[in-house]
Amino acid sequence: MPLLLTLVTAVLLTACAGAASGPASGGAKPPARPTPTAPSSPTPSSTGPSSPTTSATASPTPSTAAEITEAVTQWYEYGGGTAMVSLIEEAEKAQSGRPDEEEEFALVILDFSGLDEALSTARLFGSIPDPKTQKTWSAAIERLDEGAREVLASVPQGRTFQSPTEAGQAFRGWKTFDEGLKNLKKTVARLDRTFGLKPPSDPWEKG
């Protein structure tokens, strides 16, 4: 999976902002998006009427503030928090290959392999059982994924230097990536402010 790539990118912000909106035809093919495996639903063993206790086994959707807090806490403590920290750390690492905007040309090494795995793990933990927190969490996952794929697609094939069109695509990809980071920070802030849930140390400082 070609997730570790080296190229020289032209960092021309004015040209990037006005680059063609279509994707570069020679871009590297991004990796296929991992599809989380959903647990299969149990198949009834009888064709007769459902037992009165059948529906009682389903977990009710939390509705009160106390129920939502308990459900979010369980999501966080049983792996969701770890997945979130991992996503933060890998997103920060991926940014280490970002070109310096003050340089006209920069040698860039793109490595999204750890981010790809962290995104897959984040999806496997499902939705956060709080609509407002889930909104920013979902946006963070999708924007980080979308941005990384667009940056990878801007990598030229058989050449070292990007064309202006490819440089513009990379610029747009990093802007989308930034949107993902912003939503990730909003998710972390809401979990702390509303539910008192936060990692033992600041994962943003490790990136």
Helix axes 81-94, 164-195, angle to 10 degrees: 150
Per-residue pLDDT tens digits of the chain, which is 207 residues long: 345 555 555 443 333 444 444 444 444 444 444 444 444 444 444 444 444 344 344 456 777 899 999 999 999 999 999 999 999 999 999 988 787 766 666 677 888 999 999 999 999 999 999 999 999 999 999 999 999 999 999 988 888 888 899 989 999 999 999 999 999 999 999 999 999 999 988 888 765
> Residue 204's pLDDT is what?
85
| DSSP character string of the chain | ---EEEEEEE--HHHHHTS-SSPPTTPPPPPPPP---PPPPPPPS-SSPPPTTTGGGSPPPP-SHHHHHHHHHHHIIIIIHHHHHHHHHHHHHHGGGPPPTT-SEEEEEEE-HHHHHHHHHHHHT---SSHHHHHHHHHHHHHHHHHHHHHHHTSPSS-SBPPHHHHHHHHHHHHHHHHHHHHHHHHHHHHHHHH----SS-GGGG-
Q: Record the pTM.
A: 0.71
> Residue 158's pLDDT is what?
83
Phi, psi values for residue 7, rounded to 5°:
-155, 165
> Residue 20's pLDDT is what?
40
